[in-house]
Amino acid sequence: MLPLDRFLSGVLVAIVLLLTAGIAVHVGTPYFERALGATGAEKTAPVAPSSAGVLVAPSAVPSTRHDEGEHSAYERGPTRRELPLAAPSGSPGPSGVFLLRARNLSGRSGSVFVPAQATGVASPLLVLFHGTGGSGADMVNTFRAVAEERGIILLAPDSGHSPNGTYNWQVPDSPGDSTPDQAHVAACLAEVLAAPGLHVDHERVLALGHSGGGSSAAYMATTDPRFGAFAVLHGGVFAGGLGTHRVPAWFSTGTEDPLRPAVVVERAAAAAGAHATTVTTHLYPGGHAMSEAELRDVIAWWLGG
């Protein structure tokens, strides 16, 4: 057996070594993680002037954490603009990309794009619903080119959180039900319709959703008479929650779409048939992403030409 004094000395040495190792791990881990790319030190954005010439401090810029609401690059940036509350005398109206003032329960808002040729004239309005994990700014970026070509105003609200913590739309599946997401969309629509200098052609308002946003587009268009049609791209519907406002419907997907294969989308189109005046279906080469041909075709179906 070891003498007691040698045993105690060994225990003391072991404790000192463990404490030293713990301190080294605590101090050194962040450096190793940054070197290996496991985590990144949060970069502080430089102070930059906003479109109104007001400096935006880095502390005022929202982070990308899902529990803090806004997350798109546009919403985080120092150049974000909100729709004007008043139009200057003699001004043809606002143009460009804007952030909405309306906020949902997650603190998110949405984006609006007004092409220059849509100022001062009655223009079609396309209301866009992003897919799971997306944002309104994403949808505006996707549809901006065709909107500029056709003089279309884009309104793209942001969804709230789903129960599993992702950004996704909560859609009713029973007649007469509603969710906070639909209330937010209505508030965003009211904000655009009331914006001074913006003129919406009320006969040409389309609800369009991609992937997880498709069911919201169908719900809104069949429960809100301000919509004249809906389009579901690579998505589905919750038929039980669709309303009695019957409008033309479009469904499309990709030949290789692993999430919304043709048979699934055709089934959704059939389920929506009772809530639509006509149903048009299309199939495009590719997977789950929207193709340029698909975007142009759905706009031509809606507006003609």
DSSP-derived 3-state class of residue 73: helix
Question: Which residue in the block uniquely carries the two structure tokens 């997350």?
Answer: 71
Burial of 199 (0-12, 13-18, 19+ CB in 10 A): middle
The residue ranking higher by pLDDT, 144 or 70, is 144
56-68 pLDDT per residue, tens = 222 222 333 333 3
Which of the 8 DSSP states describes residue 101?
S
Q: Which of 74-78, 93-97, 250-254 has the lowest mean pLDDT?
A: 74-78
CA distance 217 to 45: 36
Q: Is the pLDDT confidence value at 96 over 90? A: no
CA distance 274 to 246: 8
Q: Is the pLDDT confidence value at 28 over 60? A: no
191-247 pLDDT per residue, tens = 999 988 889 999 999 999 999 999 999 999 999 999 999 999 999 999 999 999 999
DSSP-derived 3-state class of residue 265: helix
pLDDT of residue 83: 67
Task: Report residue 267: phi and psi, to 5°.
Answer: -65, -40
- pTM over 0.85? The answer is no
DSSP 3-48: -HHHHHHHHHHHHHHHHHHHHHHHHHHHHHHHHHTSS-PPPPPPPE
Contact 280, 256 (CB under 8 A): no
Beta bridge partners of 127: 155, 207
pLDDT of residue 170: 87
Which of the 8 DSSP states describes residue 94?
-
Contact 146, 115 (CB under 8 A): no
The residue among 104, 162, 108 whose CA lies nearest residue 132 is: 162
Contact 89, 80 (CB under 8 A): no
Radius of gyration of the chain (CA): 26
Q: Which of 24-33, 84-93, 294-303 is the most confident on average?
A: 294-303
Domain ranges of the chain: 93-303
Domain 93-303, CATH class in plain words:
alpha beta
Give the contacts of 87 (CB within 8 A, at least 6 positions apart). Answer: 93, 94, 196, 197
pLDDT of residue 67: 33
